[in-house]
Structure 1
Amino acid sequence: MIKINLLPHREASRKQRRSAFFAMLLLSAIIGLIVVLLVGAFFANSIANQNERNRFIKAENTRLDAEIQEVASLKQEIAALKARQQAVEDLQSDRNQPVYLMDELVKQTPEGIYLRSFKQEGQRVALNGYAQSNERVSELLRNLSNNSAWLERPDLIEIRVANIGAGRDAKRVFEFTVNVGIKRPSDNEPGATPKSADGAAAGAAAAKKQP
């Protein structure tokens, strides 16, 4: 017996394929939306984490800036304290400089030199006096440069011929000016001790000898 299907199967097949197409399209849209939401959530989380790191870095930078300012302030205070301490030490050592100066001038002034005056400005002293010859002045400079523990870097500022006395007592001498530096006790060897004021005063009197 022959069976004949008279139903519109082609139209039904088309409807079935159309329904399947729309179902796949809807499923694709849903999957795409889910992917977009997941990616957006990932990037939003990354941005939030980066913003949190930025806030942390800014807070740490602010804290470090405050610490740096505090350290700079402490360094300035330390430098000021060191400067004050050095000033006190310099005053303490400079208090005995006249003693050292007069004692050294007695020791280092050779025969034939008459020191007329000396003037101190800071750590330099200007010596003015008379000498019998240029060689005496050279000897004085050598002594001040090489033999003195408290005097250094002598410079001959001026030397010229002069006459002292009158008549038969007149003498031809050389008037000179020498600039020499004074060392502080801290610049000398350990164990160096100042001389007594009495010995220095006696030496100063001996230094003022007529040529």
Structure 2
Amino acid sequence: MIKINLLPHREAKRKELKTQFYSLMALAAILGAGVVILVGLVFSTQLSAQTERNAFITQENLELDKKIKEVATLRQEIDALKARQQAVEDLQADRNQPVFMMNELVRLAPEGLYLTSIKQEGQRVLMKGYAQSHAVVGIFVNELNSSQWMNRPEIIQNKAVGLGQGRDAKRVIEFDLNVGIRRPRELEAAAASAAAEGSTKKAVAPKAGAK
């Protein structure tokens, strides 16, 4: 006897496949959503950690800027204190400057020259006087330029004038000049520099008899 299946097996099979497809799609959606959520959590955790690190770095930078400002303020105070200390030392040393200056002028002034006025303004000295000739003024300037205590002489005025009346009248050179005066610490620094330069030259000089 031949059996004939009258059930719509094709439609049942198609329905079963469709049900499996929808199940797989739902499972894939669930897995995808899980992956997205997991990745989001990971990114959120990393972002939160990075935000905390950035906040820490910002705070540390603010603290560092504050310390830098404190150091700069402290350095300014130290510089101001050094400046005041140097001013006091210069004031004490400058008390002896007139004595050294007068001794230098007596030693350096050539014959045929005399000074009528000496005025110190800071570290410059203004001098006025008369000389027998322009050559005498030139000698005086050269002596001042080679002095240990004085430097950078500058002639302001140098002209021939008549001095006296009648038979006693003489033609002389009237001059105005100013010259710088060194402080003791400047002399000490110059001496130390010269000594260091001399030591360097001795160190690089070839030995006698060396080939």
| TM-score for the superposition, normalised by structure 2 | 0.83
Partner of 2:171: 172
Seen in structure 2, the aligned counterparts of structure 1 residues 10 and 166 have a Cα distance that, compared at 3 Å, is closer
Equivalent in the alignment of 1:209: none
After superposition, residues 92-171 of structure 1 pair within 5 angstroms as 92-146=92-146, 148-171=147-170
Instruction: Provide the rounded CA distance (Å) in 2 between the counterparts of 1:189 and 1:43.
Output: 69
1:45-75 C-alpha deviation (Å, 9 max, x unpaired): 2221221122112111111111111111011
Q: Is 1:40 matched with 2:40?
A: yes
Q: SS where residue 144 of structure 2 aligns? A: helix
Cα distance between partner residues in 2 of 1:10 and 1:133 = 140
Q: In structure 2, what residue type is equivalent to 1:83? A: A
CA distance in structure 2 between the partners assigned to 1:161 and 1:12 by the alignment: 138
Q: In structure 1, what is the equivalent of residue 201 of structure 2?
A: none
Paired residues for 1:18-57 under 5 Å: 18-57=18-57
Tell me, what secondary structure is at the counterpart of 1:179? strand
Residue-by-residue CA offset, 1:81-108 (whole Å, 9 max, x unaligned): 1211221121122111100110000000
User: Comparing both chains, which one has the higher relative contact order based on Cα–Cα distances under 8 Å and sequence gaps of 6 or more?
Assistant: 1
Structure 1's unaligned 5+ residue stretches are 193-211
Q: Number of residues paired by the alignment? A: 190
1:163 Cα deviation (Å)?
Answer: 2.7
Q: Aligned-residue CA RMSD in angstroms?
A: 1.8
Q: Percent identity?
A: 57
Q: Which residue of structure 2 aligns with residue 184 of structure 1?
A: 183
SS in 1 for 2:71: helix
Letter in 1 for 2:15: K
Provide the rounded CA distance (Å) in 1 between the counterparts of 2:8 and 2:38: 45
CA distance in 1, matches of 2:92, 2:165: 46
- Give 1:199's aligned residue: none
**Relative to structure 1, is the Cα distance of residues 172 and 10 closer, same or farther in structure 2, using a 3 angstrom cutoff?**
closer
Q: CA deviation at 1:44?
A: 1.2
Q: Which moved further from structure 2: 102-111 or 27-36?
A: 27-36
Partner in structure 2 of residue 195 of structure 1: none
